[in-house]
C-alpha cells in the first residue's frame, strides 16, 4: 500500500470519542509489550508514530491512526499486565467489549502473540472474543527474529494448537527487524477492504 499521510486522530476511552468518518477499521489486540505499537510503526514506515514503551501496560487508550483518509489502523490497549489494579482491569474490559461488540466500521481484529512463548490464558480469551465478533481468527506472531531457526516450526505449531486455530484461520510470522510479515499483513488488509475472500 502506498501511504502518503498518516496521523493519530484520537486516543479514545469512550465510544462517543470514536471517529465518525465511517472509514473501515482494522484493530490490533495483544498482551502488553507484545509489539503492537512497533508493528503499526513498521506497517506505516514510521519510526515513532505509535508510542513504543519499555513499560508494559502503557497504552490505556484506543488509538485510531488515519491512513490517507481511507482506513484506520486501531491500536487496542494491551492486556495481561499484572500490576494493574482490579478497577483498571475492569475498565479495560469494558473499553474493549464496547469497541469489539458495537463498532460498525470494524472489519477485523488481529491478535498479536509473542512467537517465543506459548499463548497465555489471556491470549486464548482474546482469540475467543475475536472468533465471536469475526468470521475468522488472524494471528500475527511477533519477534520472530529472536527465534532460532530450530525453534520456529515447533513454536508456530504450539501457537496454532493452543489457540485452536482452524483451516480458515491465518498465522503470520512478523519481525520489525526486517520486512517479514509486513506485506502479508497489508495484503490481507487490502483484500478485506476490497471485500475479497482470504485464504487460510
pLDDT 10s digits, 158-173: 999 999 999 999 999 9
pLDDT class of 23 with cuts at 50, 70, 90: very high
User: Is residue 185 one of the residues assigned to a domain?
Assistant: yes
Which of 173, 171, 167, 164 is CA-nearest to residue 124? 164
**pLDDT of amino acid 3:** 86
Residue 151 CA from chain centroid, whole number: 23
pLDDT 10s digits, 30-75: 998 898 989 999 999 887 676 654 444 455 789 999 999 999 999 9
Quote the pTM value: 0.91
Measure the CA angle with vertex 133, ends 131 and 138; round to 5°: 45
User: Is residue 200 one of the residues assigned to a domain?
Assistant: no
User: Is residue 199 one of the residues assigned to a domain?
Assistant: no
User: Is residue 93 one of the residues assigned to a domain?
Assistant: yes
**pLDDT of amino acid 178:** 87
**What stretch of H or E contains 188?**
helix 182-193
User: Is residue 38 one of the residues assigned to a domain?
Assistant: yes
Does residue 96 carry a pLDDT above 70? yes
Supply the range of the domain harboring residue 32. Answer: 6-193
Does residue 125 carry a pLDDT above 90? yes
User: Is residue 1 one of the residues assigned to a domain?
Assistant: no
Give me 98's grid cell.
464496547
Query: In total, how many domains does the chain have?
Result: 1
Which of the residue ranges 17-26, 50-59, 120-129, 174-183 would you say has the lowest mean pLDDT? Answer: 50-59
User: Is residue 79 one of the residues assigned to a domain?
Assistant: yes
- From residue 52, give the alpha-carbon distance in Å to each of 34, 60, 75, 78, 87: 11, 13, 12, 12, 24
User: Is residue 173 one of the residues assigned to a domain?
Assistant: yes
Instruction: Compare 183 and 87 and report the one with higher pLDDT.
Output: 183
Measure the CA angle with vertex 127, ends 62 and 73; round to 5°: 30
Q: What is the mean pLDDT of residues 190-194?
A: 93
**pLDDT of amino acid 138:** 97
Question: 107: domain CATH number?
Answer: 3.40.50.300
The whole-chain average pLDDT of the chain stands at: 89
**pLDDT of amino acid 84:** 65
Amino acid at each position: 500500500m502506498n501511504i502518503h499521510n498518516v496521523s493519530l486522530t484520537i486516543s479514545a476511552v469512550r465510544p462517543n470519542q470514536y471517529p465518525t468518518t465511517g472509514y473501515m477499521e482494522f484493530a490490533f489486540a495483544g498482551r502488553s509489550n507484545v509489539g503492537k505499537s512497533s508493528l503499526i510503526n513498521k506497517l506505516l514506515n514510521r519510526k515513532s508514530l505509535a508510542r513504543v514503551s519499555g513499560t508494559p501496560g502503557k497504552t490505556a487508550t484506543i488509538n485510531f491512526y488515519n491512513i490517507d483518509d481511507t482506513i484506520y489502523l486501531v491500536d487496542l490497549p494491551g492486556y495481561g499486565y499484572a500490576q494493574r489494579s482490579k478497577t483498571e482491569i475492569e475498565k479495560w474490559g469494558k473499553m474493549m467489549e464496547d469497541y469489539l461488540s458495537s463498532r460498525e466500521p470494524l472489519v477485523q481484529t488481529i491478535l498479536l502473540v509473542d512467537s517465543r512463548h506459548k499463548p497465555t490464558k489471556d491470549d486464548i480469551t482474546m482469540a475467543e472474543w475475536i472468533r465471536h465478533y469475526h468470521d475468522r481468527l488472524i494471528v500475527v506472531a511477533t519477534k520472530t527474529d529472536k527465534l532460532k531457526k530450530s525453534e520456529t516450526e515447533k513454536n508456530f505449531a504450539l501457537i496454532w494448537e493452543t489457540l485452536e486455530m482452524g483451516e480458515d484461520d491465518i498465522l503470520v510470522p512478523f519481525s520489525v527487524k526486517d520486512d517479514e510479515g509486513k506485506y502479508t499483513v497489508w495484503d490481507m488488509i487490502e483484500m478485506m477492504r476490497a471485500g475479497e475472500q482470504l485464504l487460510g
